[in-house]
């Protein structure tokens, strides 16, 4: 099939590359000329494990192309995926300007039948707006070209995106006409040879499914974070509680880890957007409001522990910080807890040397020439001259450090672990004070 992907970010590039991998002809469009230049020169603008090989293989095979030319992109694919950003607007709702601008461009340049597929995470009712945007452009041109609008939310996880796209748990397709359903079934057939994964539903249910999924996952995290704080007060161990409840198949082990808060480009904005959708519809989503409040507070829990240990005023203190990305295996810094933690340490007078395997360039872009933030080339180098170590992202390379070296390097040998990376006995045996989340 001939496919156009509008928006070549985390979702668009992974989707485009994986669809090409199954033998489709894919053209990825982005308005960011720098992104397209990097891709055309054989680079990858984001860090996503395994993506470079899939892109390189399909570019070499002539199935994957990149462009900034909107007209060329619209005329290329029968299927037009919209995979642009939907950042939060000032009131928390999803900002649809990029989605609708993409829809208008399709209406402006299409010359034959198109299936317009919304892959971006969008509020219920957006398919109607996309349809209206395409139709308005066709009306303005005096054309009556047929098209279908489909909702196909994406469930991939950054850090495992290629695998998730190639082996999805389910593929949600919201559609209302047979031709679109036929084409979507054909498109996704290679991804579900083992068993049927396509869930065909109406457009509104498909749109809501994506928000419901992210809101449920965020709820599990905030729930565990609140219980972790309670565990600390009661002298219980949240890790043991996690295992005790995760073993119940009705609950399951996934997404039950206490930590220093969720971040990323999806959970925070999608929880906000669903709260706004609820409010607009006259249904206050009380659980989700609490999920968001708990998470905002949780991002500061590590600094609260630092303050409890060193006092309110951190002037002159210097901290090593391991992990900047909002989670391992990505360079994505959107809503990362590290940003809140670093800003709060600065506010209290401290300075920071950070290390992250892939997110330091992105952090430099965000913090600019901030003299209070330095970067280390290796984890242990970040500890030079530091009073204490904070762990904010659970990268694998942090899991088995030499605690003796950490003890020797830190002025006041204490680790504040925001991700419960270690068995507490190991740092303590090395003479370190070890403070983690929800464990005695
Ligand atoms: N990142 C994830 O893990 C993830 C997972 C599932 C769903 N989503 C959803 O997918 C959507 C995209 O997310 P992302 O993380 O890939 O965003 P992103 O910011 O990485 O990429 C979006 C891209 O779209 C481009 N763009 C904007 N307007 C355009 C236009 N009119 N024409 C062409 N290109 C345009 C931007 O330049 C950017 O490169 C969002 O709605 C997000 O909620 C994201």
* pLDDT (tens digit per residue) in 282-331: 999 999 999 999 999 999 999 999 999 999 999 999 999 999 999 999 99
Query: Please, what's the largest Cα pairwise distance for the chain?
Result: 77
pTM (2 decimals)?
Answer: 0.95
Distance 45 CA to ligand 1 centre (A): 13
Q: Does ligand 1 come within 6 angstroms of the Cβ of 11?
A: yes
* pLDDT digits 0-9 by tens, 177-230: 999 999 999 999 999 988 889 999 999 999 999 999 999 999 999 999 999 999
From the CA of 359, how far away is ligand 1's center (Å)?
A: 19
Residue identified by tokens 């070296």 is 405
Residue 194 is predicted with a pLDDT of: 82
347: exposed, middle or buried (Cβ count in 10 Å: 0-12, 13-18, 19+):
exposed
Taking alpha carbons only, the member of 170, 254, 250 closest to residue 219 is 254
Active-site residue, from 18, 28, 260, 266: 266
Using 50, 70 and 90 to split pLDDT, how confident is the model at 8? very high
Instruction: Answer yes or no: 260 catalytic.
Output: no
Ligand 1 proximity of 83 Cβ (cutoff 6 Å) = yes
- What residue's CA is closest to ligand 1, atom 13? 85
Q: Which atom of ligand 1 is nearest to the CA of 119?
A: 10
Q: How far is the CA of 368 from the centre of ligand 1 (A)?
A: 24
Residue 243 Cα to ligand 1 midpoint, Å, equals 36
User: Which of 28, 31, 45, 84 to mutate to test ligand 1, by most ligand atoms within 8 A of the CB atom?
Assistant: 84
Cβ–ligand 1 contact at 103 (below 6 Å): no
Q: Assign 122 to helix, strand or coil.
A: coil
Looking at residue 169, what DSSP letter applies? S
């Amino acid at each position: 099939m001939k496919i156009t992907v509008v928006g070549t970010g985390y979702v668009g590039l992974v989707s485009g590359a994986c669809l090409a991998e199954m033998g489709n002809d894919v053209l990825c469009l982005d308005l960011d000329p720098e992104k397209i230049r990097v891709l055309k020169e054989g680079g990858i603008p984001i860090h996503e494990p395994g993506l470079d090989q899939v892109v390189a293989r399909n570019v070499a095979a002539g199935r994957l192309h990149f462009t900034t030319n909107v007209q060329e992109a619209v005329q290329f694919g029968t299927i037009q995926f919209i995979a642009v950003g939907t950042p939060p607007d000032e009131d928390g709702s999803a900002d649809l300007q990029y989605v609708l601008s993409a829809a208008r461009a399709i209406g402006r340049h299409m010359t034959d039948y198109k299936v317009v597929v919304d892959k971006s995470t969008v509020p219920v009712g957006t398919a109607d707006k996309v349809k209206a945007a395409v139709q308005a452009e066709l009306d303005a041109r005096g054309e009556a070209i047929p098209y279908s609008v489909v909702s196909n939310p994406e469930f991939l996880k950054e850090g495992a995106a290629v695998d998730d796209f190639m082996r999805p748990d389910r593929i949600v397709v919201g559609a209302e006409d047979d031709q679109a359903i036929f084409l979507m079934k054909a498109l996704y057939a290679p991804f579900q040879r083992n068993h049927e994964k396509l869930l065909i539903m109406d457009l509104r249910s498909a749109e809501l499914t994506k928000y419901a999924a992210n809101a449920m996952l965020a709820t599990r995290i905030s729930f565990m974070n609140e219980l972790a704080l309670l565990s600390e007060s009661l002298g219980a161990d949240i890790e043991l509680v996690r295992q005790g409840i995760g073993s119940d198949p009705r609950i399951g082990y996934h997404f039950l880890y206490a930590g220093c808060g969720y971040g990323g480009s999806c959970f925070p904005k999608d929880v906000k957007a669903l709260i706004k959708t609820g409010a607009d519809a006259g249904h206050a989503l009380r659980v989700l409001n609490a999920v968001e409040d708990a998470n905002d507070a949780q991002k500061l829990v590590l600094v609260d522990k630092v303050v409890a240990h060193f006092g309110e005023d951190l002037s002159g203190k210097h901290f090593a910080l391991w992990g900047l990305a909002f989670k391992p295996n990505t360079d994505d810094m959107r809503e990362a807890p590290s940003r809140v933690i670093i800003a709060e340490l600065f506010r209290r007078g401290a300075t920071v040397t950070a290390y992250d395997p892939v997110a330091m360039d992105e952090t430099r872009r965000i913090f600019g020439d901030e003299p209070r933030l330095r970067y280390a080339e290796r984890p242990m180098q970040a500890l030079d001259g530091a009073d204490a170590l904070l762990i904010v992202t659970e990268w694998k390379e942090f899991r088995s450090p030499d605690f003796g070296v950490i003890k020797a390097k830190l002025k006041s040998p204490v680790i504040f672990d925001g991700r419960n990376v270690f068995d507490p006995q190991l740092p303590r045996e090395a003479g370190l004070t070890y403070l983690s989340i929800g464990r005695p």
